[in-house]
Chain A
Amino acid sequence: MTVAERSIEPLHRRLGLTDDELDAIRERLGGRDPNDLELAMFSVMWSEHCSYKSSKPLLRTLPTAGEGVVAGPGENAGVISIGDGLAVAFKIESHNHPSAVEPYQGAATGVGGILRDIFTMGARPIAVLDALRFGDPTDPRTRHLVDGVVRGVGGYGNCVGVPTVGGELVFDPSYTGNPLVNVMAIGLLEERRLTLAAAPGPGNLVVLFGSTTGRDGIGGASVLASATFTHDDPSKRPSVQVGDPFAEKLLIEASLELIEGGLVEGLQDLGAGGITCATSETADRAGTGIAVDLDAIPRREPDMEPFEVMISESQERMCAAVRPERWHEVREVCARWGLPVAIIGRVTDDGDLTVTSNGRELARVPARALTSDAIVHERIGNAPPHRRAAPAPGVSIDPSDRLPERGMDPGAVLLALLGSANLASRRPVFEQYDSTVGADTIVGPGRGAAVLRVKGTTRALVATTDGNQAVGALDPYLGAALSVAEATRNVSITGARPLGVTNCLNYGDPSRPEAFWQLQEGVRGLADACRALGVPVTGGNVSLYNESPAGAIAPTAEIGVVGLLDDVAMLVGPAFAEEGDAILLIGEVTPGLSGSAYAALAGAAVEDGPPGLDLALEAALQSGIREAIARGLVASAQDVSGGGLAVALAESAMWSGLGATTRLAVANSPAVELFGESPSRIVVTCRPRFAPALTLVARQHGLSAEALGTVGGNRLVIELTGAGATGAAEERGSRVADALEVPVADLRHAWDHGLPRALGWED
């Protein structure tokens, strides 16, 4: 579009609203046209990011009720009771497009935004987990993004003093040009301090505190987050907010002090949509209205237009409803923390958000028209016509033959997997984060789920994020369900009970039927898995329009889970515990290599489909392992996921420094047995005398338990027996049965150096 064409485009379209949406706005304004300020306010509030206008009907299908749920979807964060009058608040949110434009600030403000969602509820933030997804690690553009995002996450989280305890770093070509930066935060609160984002009580003051309001982040929600992305367009840079973690730290302390002192009636952070969003949402929730005095809003630059003030996404600001007699105390608390504070309006009883300046009314809009009564789109979803990649000429289409497993050297494959960008140690990244501030971190990043003790109790919180875009690309329903299964499994294998799920749904343009179908399928998989596993969804975020000129991202349902361990002394980890322990595999392998790290390494488009997921079996597996741990039978428990059983054993070995000698019966495919990623499997070790009891617990839950071998030595040995194994060996001209035998030190070397090599940080 040329500049001339652009200028004759009507304002509502330039702001990202359709003609139908303009009609719907008129309807909500009693038939009149909105003025320019009102239109700007609608444009941010009716953006996909703020309104969930495409996803709302789907999200209603998620199970949200569960034991101990104190606050669920619709609040700033989910809150679940953990006993002793304490509760945990948690939520995950995306900051994808800002991070693509300006990786450092995009990621930093992503951390800042999700932390505000937590302390707005009255919870002290105690942990951050960041799930990051990028394109090819050898691409200079990817390297630039990784470096900036990692520095941004660290720069903000380290300064604000909240430990980064976990997350993910995944490379997949579909994220080229559209990285995913999903950040989860967890907070702890006394239940009686739970504070809701509402503005009750007509006559109460509306108080804004924290940073002043500037021109940064104008239209972040509508321009950046809610439109398809056309590569890194410098014109969008002003839409990215700029973070100040020092201001955020002050904001945390001041907000918690205000809540502790009972000085606020309701509290809301300012994120997407700025003052417009914070005031309309809090008014709508309380069934009140708010009259904003535009001139009272402290600004950081002169000559700002009213619409800029109302929709600015300047960071590190909070909005509170305050009883007039409390104002002096509120002002004192803010002054002590050096934070600007101002009365910017009053709670009214007319249900409207009004904006006045110099006594002149500039805007009057029903608060609910901007929020709960925003437009909802019934989108159309269509599955793509089933496409199979045509086999290359001369290549057999026998699925098990498509991969180089006949004649492969399994030890070499294992080392290649451990050194691959997606499975290698994440340490070079997570050691740029402070993972121990707060003095609660029992297990930090890099060893499965993170574990944080709860001071003054015997309890611990266990948290993880997981997403499976590789299977999601093949089957979006299965990808989402597998992500829930893996995340909850990672919590259950520590002995903890998963309390709830938060999700970040990253998909493409919902006006494309195929992308919307992916979202529908993802939500269906999420809902089915959460129901089967008995965990409520307590909140989350939807990020659509994740597309770039290179195409749409693989559908990515990022799942965050928080679990509770009642007695931290019972905590079980994934590393082997003791020489001589018995190794058992709970759960059985099922065929299918599609979507696996092995398939990606082999570079072949596999035709056998991803392995299926039996949700009832998964639920039995998780309750079985929790029972075995509670009975004190388990020495270590490790989930079989990326890279399959061989990688699971290798990790337990590397993390303990202990080797293992195991035998694996191979039915027909060594690749499936060693590297297949079929779900619902756990490698468990125990003292040899507990093996019968452990096997019995497994059987009682309808699970198989296969003795694999023994912990010990300094090498990982996996001897392959059975028909499949001999076949593979014969192909190689070997007369002995196949065996994988690698020194633990070699595993460690491959694993340690994989990521820095992939990213060019070392040779």
Chain B
Amino acid sequence: MPVRIGVVVFPGSNCDRDTIHALALAGAEPVALWHEQASLDGVAAVVLPGGFAYGDYLRAGVIARFSPVMRAVAGFAGDGGLVLGICNGFQVLAEAGLVPGALLRNRELRFLGREVAIAPERLDTPFTHAVATHGPLRMPIAHGEGCYFADPATLDALERDGRVLFRYVDPDGAPAAEDDRAANPNGSLRAIAGVLNDAGNVAGLMPHPERAAEAILGSEDGAAIIRSLVESAARAANPVPAAVGTR
């Protein structure tokens, strides 16, 4: 039986349908979770999709974190449930304190929609284990507030604990410089594109793997990230071996 994965729908979410499509392609049974519901309907994992939850008025993600569904998501994450936030979903997770850091306005203060290359730092997490190599993955970004920011101590701790999940990389596959406008277009500190929480079960990333999950869309590189989540969720739903933890 396909594993049930919840996709939260906030008013203003606009990548929920794309995420549901990509999850179904990866063999999951996607379940839409309305922002007002206080239960997660027994799903095995949760995705917070991209968009402009509640219009992103005030600041991206700041209103969404107070929704009933986010209380349930926080509880689920606290119990070790798998949660992936993509783009606006990452912003919501950061506002809710479920992943470290913050997403600031892009360095050039403009919305940016373009393809980027990111490289996974780790291939042993629930979100990356199906990714074949540390080599670059091509997928789009589309955001106005994607500049990853945290204080130096937090950044050092993230690096030390192996919680930097993805970095923007240059055409040679090396981590992009912070001021490399072409490779790290939003100016993220240490070119961080995605992070893990300290327990390793909650991840956020700014690029959109669900838009790069089919060859016809120009890149299938995102499919491995979606597939990792689906397989990890299936294992969590039918726990035989222990789930992957932090190293």
Residue ranges of A at the interface with B (Cβ–Cβ < 8 Å): 151, 154-155, 158-161, 244-247, 249-250, 337-338, 430-442, 453, 455, 568
Contacts of A439 in B (CB 8 A): 18, 21-22, 210-211, 213-214, 217
Given contacts A161-B15, A250-B11, A338-B11, contact A432 B216 (CB under 8 A): no
Which of A151, A160, A436 is the one whose CB lies under 8 Å from B142?
A436
Q: Is the CB of A568 within 8 A of B216?
A: yes
On chain A, the residues within 8 Å of B15 by CB distance are 161, 437
Which chain B residue lies CB-closest to A158? Answer: B111
Tell me how far the C-beta of A426 lies from the nearest C-beta in chain B, rounded to whole angstroms: 13
Known contacts being A249-B14, A439-B18, A455-B21, is A434 close to B142, with CB within 8 Å? yes
B52 and A249: CB pair below 8 A? yes
Name the 6 nearest CB pairs between A and B, nearest first: A161-B14, A246-B55, A434-B142, A439-B18, A434-B113, A436-B140
A431 touches B218 (CB 8 A): no
Residue B6 is within 8 A (CB to CB) of chain A in the complex:
no
Known: A338-B11, A431-B112. A437 touches B55 (CB 8 A): no
Taking CB atoms, residues of chain B closer than 8 Å to A434 are 111, 113, 142
**Bound complex: CA of A585 vs CA of B12, how far in Å?**
48
Given A159-B12, A246-B12, A432-B110; A438-B54 close (CB under 8 Å): no
Inter-chain contacts of B4 with A (CB < 8 A): none
Q: Which residues of chain B come closer than 8 Å to A161, judged between CB atoms?
A: 14-15, 51-52
Q: List 21 interface pairs A-B (beta carbons < 8 Å), by A numbering.
A: A151-B110, A155-B111, A158-B111, A159-B56, A245-B52, A245-B55, A249-B14, A338-B11, A431-B112, A431-B113, A431-B114, A432-B112, A433-B111, A436-B142, A436-B208, A437-B15, A437-B142, A438-B18, A439-B211, A440-B217, A568-B216
Q: Are B211 and A246 in contact (CB under 8 A)?
A: no
Flag if B217 contacts A249 (CB, 8 Å): no
Interface residues of B in 1-39 (CB under 8 A from A): 11-12, 14-15, 17-18, 21-22
Flag if B216 contacts A442 (CB, 8 Å): yes
Residues of the A chain whose Cβ atoms lie less than 8 Å from the Cβ of B144: 158
Contacts A159-B52, A437-B142, A439-B21 given; indicate if A154 touches B111 (C-beta within 8 A): yes
Interface residues on B, range: 20 to 34
Having A161-B14, A439-B210, A442-B216, one finds 13 other A-B pairs with CB under 8 Å, namely: A154-B111, A158-B144, A245-B52, A246-B54, A246-B55, A249-B12, A432-B112, A434-B111, A436-B142, A437-B14, A437-B18, A439-B211, A439-B217
Which residues from chain B contact A436 at a C-beta distance below 8 Å? Answer: 113, 140, 142, 208, 211, 217
Q: In whole angstroms, what is the CA distance A158 to B60 when docked?
A: 14
Cα distance A595–B57 when bound, in Å?
Answer: 46
A250 to B13, CA, bound (A): 10
> Is there contact, CB below 8 Å, between A433 and B11?
no
CB atoms of B11 and A337 under 8 A apart: yes
Complex CA gap A438/B15 in Å reads 7
A40–chain B nearest beta-carbon distance, Å: 32
Interface residues of B (CB under 8 A from A): 11-12, 14-15, 17-18, 21-22, 50-52, 54-57, 110-114, 140, 142, 144, 208, 210-211, 213-214, 216-218
The distance in angstroms between the C-alpha atoms of A246 and B52, with both chains bound, is 8
On chain B, the residues within 8 Å of A247 by CB distance are 55
A287 vs B15: C-alpha distance when bound (angstroms): 41
B residues in contact with A250, CB < 8 Å: 11-12
Is B18's CB under 8 angstroms from A433's CB? no
Interfacial chain A residues near B114, Cβ < 8 Å = 431
Kindly provide the distance from the CB of A727 to the nearest chain B CB, expressed in whole angstroms: 44
- Check if B113 sits within 8 Å of A246, measured CB to CB: no
Residues on B with C-beta less than 8 A from A435 are 113, 142
CA distance A432 to B113 in the complex (A): 6
Q: Which of A430, A435, A437, A453 has the most CB of B within 10 A?
A: A437
Could you say which residues of chain B place their CB within 8 Å of the CB of A155?
111
Indicate whether A453 sits within 8 Å of B216 (C-beta atoms), given known contacts A159-B55, A435-B113, A437-B211. yes
In whole angstroms, what is the CA distance A155 to B140 when docked? 18
Q: Give Cα A363–Cα B46 distance, bound, in whole angstroms.
A: 55
Do residues A158 and B142 form an inter-chain contact, with CB atoms below 8 A? yes
Contact assessment for B113 and A158 in the assembled complex, using a CB-CB cutoff below 8 Å? yes
Question: Min CB distance, B7 to chain A, in Å?
Answer: 13
Which listed residue (B17, B21, B55, B217) contacts A441, Cβ 8 A?
A: B217
Distance of A160 Cα from B50 Cα, bound (Å): 12
A155 to B210, CA, bound (A): 22
Closest A residue, CB atoms, query B208 = A436
B contact residues around A151 at 8 Å (CB): 110
CA distance A434 to B11 in the complex (A): 19
Q: Complex Cα distance A28/B148, Å?
A: 64
Name the residue of chain A whose CB is nearest to the CB of B53.
A246
Cα(A338)–Cα(B36), bound, Å: 11
> Residues of B contacting A431 with CB < 8 Å?
112-114
In the bound assembly, the distance between CA atoms of A368 and B216 in angstroms comes to 49
Report Cα–Cα, A154/B109, bound state, in Å. Answer: 13
Bound together, the chains give a CA A557 to CA B110 distance in angstroms of 31
- CB atoms of B14 and A160 under 8 A apart: yes
Contact B11 A249 (CB under 8 A): yes
Does the CB pair B113–A433 fall under 8 Å?
yes
Q: Which residues of B have CB within 8 Å of A246?
A: 11-12, 52, 54-57
Chain B residue numbers with a CB within 8 Å of A158 are 52, 111, 113, 142, 144
Q: Which residues of B contact A154 (CB under 8 A)?
A: 111
Question: What chain A residues lie within 8 Å of B112 (beta carbons)?
Answer: 431-432
Q: How far, in angstroms, from A455 to B17 measured CA to CA in the complex?
A: 12
Q: In the complex, which of the residues A160, A245, A442 contacts B217, with contact meaning CB atoms closer than 8 Å?
A: A442
A568→B114 CA distance, assembly (Å): 23
The residue of chain B having its C-beta at the shortest distance from the C-beta of A339 within the complex is: B11
Closest residue of chain B to A433 (Cβ to Cβ) is B113
List of B residues within 8 angstroms of A245 by Cβ: 52, 55
Cα-based distance from A161 to B113 in the complex (angstroms)? 12
